[in-house]
Amino acid sequence: MALGGNQSGGMTEFVLAGFPDLNSTRMELFSVFLLVYLMTLTGNMLIVGAVGADTHLQTPMYFFLGNLSCLEILITSVIIPKMLSNFLSRQHTISFAGCITQFYFYFFLGASEFLLLAVMSVDRYLAICHPLRYPLLMNGAVCFRIALACWMGGLFSVLGSTVTVALLPFCKQGAVVQHFFCDSGPLLQLACTNTKKLEETDFVLAALVIISSLMITAASYGHIILAVLRIPSASGRRKTFSTCTSHLMVVTLFYGSAIFLYVRPSQSGSVDTNWAGTVVTTFVTPLLNPFIYALRNERVKEALKDMFRKVVAGFLRSLLSAENFIKKTVQ
């Protein structure tokens, strides 16, 4: 159905194509992604809870880790619930407003995560290379302002692009977005106008956020490696660098897939490579983050054990209180 004037103001919905050629395994995929989503939520919520509850984890490193887990919870929640509902529905539609909202929050949260990962690398650099000045440089107020700047940086960096996309003319009601969510490239392909300038602007913004944060991360780890190499004992070098390995693993996963997807002049790449790369940033990285940090960090493991013991103890006390109340009532 053609829209009057071909303006996005008349567009009410899109259709999400989902995963290509996988209709025969729809319920199996639904089960897998539901399990992944629940595990991602549980793991990252445990990290946030442990950081908030354990005084030993109330340091800059773990404060930023808590923020990272919050971002992972939100970025998966922007994409996965709608995708899961489409697995159970014959009509894979999403409203125009819902599509633009999904587009905005995905890129806002993603940009914030890049900025936060760069900040986390600088935090490790200061802790290792300037240990005496570290408590002054990274006090609570400074950490809060830096984290807020990361969130605000992501919030405003994609606002202009989102408004521009929302005002684009789209030719066909119910046009098919060749992806499982409203990603930039597949959405721009549906516009009834030349989007080359917008794609170039998006490329510049993506490069600015991703490459600049990657350069900060690389520079920080360059100084860290030099500082570690100057430590005389092998055990000392391992112990010092062990505080960075979890972050380095997450950085490698996240940056690798994001650069492959978004740091290129044209966003209209292969559908298969688009959704395969997005699976890494949207599913794999948020799922692995809690395990990477929990399994490789003794403090986090101890905090999680303490939190679990407190929860079990509280549950048992509640059961005992309920039992005593029932006995008194019966008597």
Residue ranges making up the domain that contains 150: 4-326
What is the predicted pLDDT for the residue at 1? 31
In the predicted model, what is the mean pLDDT of residues 53-71?
89
Backbone angles phi, psi at 93, to 5 degrees: -90, 155
How does residue 173 score in pLDDT terms, banded at 50, 70 and 90? Answer: low
Q: Mean pLDDT for the chain? A: 82
Cβ(305)–Cβ(52) under 8 Å? no
Domain-located, residue 57: yes
- In this prediction, residue 6 carries a pLDDT of 43
The residue among 129 and 293 whose pLDDT is bigger is 129
CATH number at residue 175: 1.20.1070.10
User: What global pTM score does this model have?
Assistant: 0.84
Q: How confident is the model at residue 70 (pLDDT cuts 50, 70, 90)?
A: very high
Q: For position 122, what pLDDT does the model report?
A: 94
pLDDT tens-place string over residues 189-241 = 888 888 888 888 888 888 888 888 889 999 998 998 888 888 888 877 777 77
Task: With respect to residue 62, please indicate whether it lies within any of the assigned structural domains.
Answer: yes
CB neighbour list of residue 227: distance below 8 Å, 6 or more residues apart: 128, 129, 240
299-303 mean pLDDT: 76
Higher pLDDT, 56 or 68: 68
Give 244-286 pLDDT, tens digit per residue: 777 777 888 777 777 766 665 555 544 554 666 777 778 888 8
Sorted by sequence, the CB contacts under 8 Å of residue 13 that are 6+ apart come out as 93, 94, 95, 96, 99, 173, 174
Q: Look at the chain and report how many structural domains it folds into.
A: 1
16 Cβ partners below 8 Å, 6+ apart?
82, 83, 86, 92, 93, 94, 176, 177, 179, 180, 181, 182
pLDDT at position 176 is 85
For 305-317, the pLDDT digits (tens) are 777 777 777 767 7
Asked whether residue 331 is domain-assigned, the answer is no
pLDDT of 121 > 50? The answer is yes
Domain membership of residue 111 (yes or no) is: yes
185 domain residue, yes or no: yes
Which tops the pLDDT comparison, 327 or 164? 164
